[in-house]
Amino acid sequence: MIRKSKQNWEVGQTVKVGFLTLKVIASRVTPGDFLPDAYLLQNSVGDKLYEFVPHNGCRRVDASEANEINQIYRSAA
């Protein structure tokens, strides 16, 4: 989890990524593989999903892969 940020990256909180203001829907902790944690984010309207990995960036997730990614995040929690 992101710890040294002034933003709260817990599920349900609103964060800013670049110029986007997004709500944290889920997080995936990746201990032991030396990769940063990943976050599933949603815009304020609720019609777009994004996957954010620190140092790798933010990418928009289309509807076809949204369910698959959401299941991966839920199983990791």
Distance CA 57, CA 75 (A): 23
Output the pLDDT for position 5: 73
Q: What is residue 71's three-state secondary structure?
A: helix
For residue 2, the model assigns a pLDDT of 67
According to the model, what pLDDT value does residue 63 have?
73
Strands (E), 18-69: 20-28, 38-43, 49-53, 57-61
Distance CA 14, CA 25 (A): 10
50: which 2 tokens?
Answer: 């994004």
* Residue 13 neighbours by CB under 8 Å, 6+ apart: 7, 23, 24
pLDDT digit string, tens, across residues 28-75:
887 777 778 889 999 999 899 999 988 889 999 987 787 777 777 777
Q: What's the pTM? A: 0.77
